[in-house]
Amino acid sequence: MKICVTAKGSDLDASVDPHFGRCNNFLVVDSETMEFQSIGNDQGSASGGAGVQAAQQVIGKGINVLITGSVGPNAFSLLESENIEMKMVSGGSVQEAIEAYRSGSLESINTPNSAGKSGK
């Protein structure tokens, strides 16, 4: 299973970045082998639609689960349409987030939980 965790750094010890659209890095982790790939968020400072770009980027990596702090309405509709499971985490490292996911202690994100910025 491929899990994407939004992160401030580029390895499993990095802190989780709570903002999906505007995080620094996406860490795509294979939950069986714990092999991972760090992908820079090239649209993190876009004036609008950062969440739309971020969602396309991680969907393109074929992920099954997204672990982050908050997801805006546009990104949410993209991720939901691809049946990606969204889980909420408030802090800690990427490694800890994945362990928490495995133990089933992460809450699901069932509706957009960030107002996002719908573009100006």
Smallest distance from the beta carbon of 82 to another protein, in angstroms?
A: 6
The span from the CA of 9 to the CA of 65, in Å, is 19
The span from the CA of 113 to the CA of 108, in Å, is 11
CA 63 centroid distance within chain: 10
Smallest distance from the beta carbon of 86 to another protein, in angstroms?
A: 16
Which amino acid belongs to residue 36? F
* DSSP character at residue 81: H
User: Which stretch in 22-30, 72-80, 92-100, 105-113 sits in contact with another protein by CB under 8 A?
Assistant: 72-80
* CB atoms near residue 112 (< 10 Å): 19
Smallest distance from the beta carbon of 8 to another protein, in angstroms?
A: 23
The span from the CA of 96 to the CA of 93, in Å, is 5
Smallest distance from the beta carbon of 93 to another protein, in angstroms?
A: 30
Q: Of 54 and 97, which CB lies nearer to another protein in the complex structure?
A: 54
* Mask for 20-59, x = binds another protein (CB under 8 A): -----------------------x--xxxxx-xx-xx--x
Q: Of 64 and 81, which CB lies nearer to another protein in the complex structure?
A: 81
| Helix (H) or strand (E) segment spanning residue 52 | helix 50-59
Interacting residue ranges for another protein, rule: CB under 8 A: 43, 46-50, 52-53, 55-56, 59, 74, 77-78, 81-82, 118-120
